[in-house]
Structure formats: structure tokens, C-alpha cells
Amino acid sequence: MLGRGDIVRALKSRGPDARVGEAMTTDIPTIGHRQCLDEAFRLLQDKAAPAVGVVDAQGRLIGLITASTVGEMLMVRDAMPAGSRFGPWGRPAGA
């Protein structure tokens, strides 16, 4: 993952010719695509990670969850009219 902080550090230390592989963070935690969002939130907090990678059944990266995307999701949910359902998070468990 190449985040804003990674880019700034690379530019300061190596300049604009820095290679992506030298600047990126490679040790982000991962979570299976069928695991609960609560687990992803816990990993973001406990590991102080910039993101949590979402992997499919074969272990391939299929998405990222970041504090920004969590915040955006919460803002959209809070903006919805009372009683509205917000994606799969508004469904009863097992539905």
C-alpha cells in the first residue's frame, strides 16, 4: 500500500525519483472477505495500520478498508433518513 505518509517520507528522503517499492508499506494486516466489519475495525486500531487488506478465499487482495472509508460509511449512514437501511449493514443478522 502506498499512502500519503509513505509518499511524503519517500519524497523527503529520496526525492521524486524514489521507487514505489521502496516507499510503500508492505506489512498491512489482512482479513477474509466474509469476516465481520468489527474485526476489520479492531485490526485498524490494534495494529495502528494504515489499512486492512480484504482477501478472497484464495488469499488474493480484493479491497482495502481504511479509517477514511470507515468514516465515509458512517457519515453516509448518519445522513440517511430515520428508518432507512444502509446496505447490508442495515439487514438483520443472517438475512
Any idea what the CATH number is for the domain that residue 64 is in?
A: 3.10.580.10
Is residue 73 in some structural domain? yes
Higher pLDDT, 86 or 5: 5
Give the phi and the psi of residue 70 in degrees, each rounded to 5: -65, -45
Sign of CA dihedral 48, 53, 58, 60: negative
Report the domain count for the chain: 1
Residue 65: what pLDDT?
Answer: 92
**pLDDT, tens digit, 9 for 90 and up, residues 23-71:** 998 889 999 999 988 888 889 989 888 899 999 999 999 999 998 888 8
Is residue 48 in some structural domain? yes
Read off the pLDDT of each residue in 3-9 and give the average, rounded to a whole number. Answer: 91
Reference 53, options 63, 43, 44; nearest CA is: 63
Residue 89 has pLDDT above 60, yes or no: no
∠ CA 29-32-38, nearest 5°, is 75
Provide CB contacts within 8 A for 65, sequence distance 6+.
31, 37, 40, 44, 51, 52, 54
Read off the pLDDT of each residue in 18-26 and give the average, rounded to a whole number. Answer: 92
In terms of pTM, does the model score above 0.85?
no
Dist. CA 52–CA 65, nearest whole Å: 5
